[in-house]
């Protein structure tokens, strides 16, 4: 299940392991597979579908668009550490092997839906960390932060075994608040025999540089697409999402694969509903296909950005300004879960 702007949680198909055998490529099998899946999802009540793409050029033709982005970071471990006024609350403890699976699983699904794009996992997702703890080639630490109201964050990190200074790699980290996240980062940077801490798939708005005494110790090594989203049921998806309180915007949506999604949608007063079929007497002020709509749906991209780069078509410039206000979200969307 996935959180969307406004706090609603929607049933979502987590699409993974898509592939065609090497001796059967270029025969249209992938297209047939993806289309059959889309036809199967709507009757099951899955309003959205999401995936992580191995190649960026594959999934747009099936209506998927980049809905969240994430960054990779590297933080040098130095004696300067955190700023003196940076939050320093609560305690961090390492979990025992028996806790590695159950404690993060329960904690994640309690705090998972606090920002758009985040999804629930369940305990079975945490099998890999439990298995990592048994490996001989890497040291694994799984830690939990406890604040004034109980456990509110966890981190999974690994490092190559050995005595020389080496990088500590953050594999998974979630926290219920910026203060809990700060405590987990402080803990990681205090681990001995570590040269630096690296992390991938982190949210774009994580204020790590504001915590460090030396902000130049943080290097953003990449910003990449994270979650690709497909609106399987556009009327239901738009009805579930909250919008800014604006004067009406008439948005035309095209969907060649699921034609029932096509139409003119009226966005106004915080809600959206379909009011006309495409080609009817009510003309849209803005138009896009379903993949371009996915790019704005969680709040990652502004309609004005998408219009300026050719993803959205604008017939009424004043409506574009209202669309920006309607789709704006107070927090950057992020998934934070690989599947």
The catalytic residue positions are 59, 339
Given a contact cutoff of 8 angstroms between Cβ atoms, the answer to whether 307 and 336 are in contact is: no
What is d(CA 234, CA 232) in angstroms, rounded to the nearest whole number? 6
Count the neighbouring beta carbons within 10 Å of the beta carbon of residue 205.
12
User: Tokens 């369940």 belong to which residue?
Assistant: 122
Note the Cα 20 to chain centre separation in Å. Answer: 26
Cβ neighbours for 147, distance < 8 A, ≥ 6 positions apart = 89, 90, 153, 176, 177, 179, 180, 183
- The structure tokens 């379903």 sit at 290
Report which of 210, 257, 242 is spatially closest to residue 328, judged by C-alpha positions.
242
- Answer for the pair 181, 199: CB distance below 8 angstroms, yes or no: no
Antiparallel, parallel or unpaired: β 249-254 and 286-289: parallel
What end-to-end distance do the CA atoms of the chain give, in Å? 13
Tokens standing for residue 280:
């009817």
**Residues constituting the chain:** 339
């Amino acid at each position: 299940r996935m959180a969307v702007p406004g706090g609603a949680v929607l049933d979502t198909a987590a699409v993974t392991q898509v592939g065609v055998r090497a001796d059967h490529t270029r025969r249209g099998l992938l297209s047939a597979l993806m289309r059959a899946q889309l036809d199967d999802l709507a009757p099951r009540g899955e309003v959205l579908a999401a995936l992580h793409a191995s190649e960026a050029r594959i999934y747009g033709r099936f209506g998927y668009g980049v809905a969240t982005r994430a960054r990779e970071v590297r933080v040098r471990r130095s004696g300067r550490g955190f700023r003196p006024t940076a939050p320093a609350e609560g305690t961090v403890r390492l979990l025992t092997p028996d806790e590695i699976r159950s404690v993060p699983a329960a904690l994640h699904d309690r705090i998972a839906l606090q920002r758009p794009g985040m999804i629930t996992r369940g305990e079975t997702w945490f099998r890999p960390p439990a298995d990592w703890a048994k490996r001989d080639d890497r040291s694994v630490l799984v830690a939990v932060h406890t604040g004034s109201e109980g456990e509110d964050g966890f981190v999974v990190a690994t490092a190559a075994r050995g005595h020389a200074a080496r990088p500590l790699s953050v594999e998974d980290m979630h926290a219920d608040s910026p203060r809990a996240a700060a405590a987990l980062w402080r803990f990681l940077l205090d681990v001995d025999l570590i040269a630096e801490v690296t992390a991938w798939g982190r949210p774009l708005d994580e204020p790590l540089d504001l915590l460090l005494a030396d902000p130049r110790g943080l290097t953003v090594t990449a910003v990449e697409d994270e979650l690709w989203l497909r609106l399987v049921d556009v009327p239901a998806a738009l009805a579930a999402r909250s919008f800014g309180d604006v004067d009406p915007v008439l948005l035309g949506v095209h969907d060649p694969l699921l034609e029932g999604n096509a139409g003119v949608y009226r966005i106004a007063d915080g809600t959206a509903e379909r009011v006309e079929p495409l080609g009817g007497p009510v003309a849209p002020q803005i138009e896009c296909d379903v993949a371009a709509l996915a790019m704005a749906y969680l709040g990652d991209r502004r309609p004005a950005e998408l219009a300026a780069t050719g993803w959205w078509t604008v017939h009424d410039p004043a409506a574009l300004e209202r669309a920006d206000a309607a789709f704006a979200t107070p927090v950057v969307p992020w998934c934070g879960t690989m599947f």
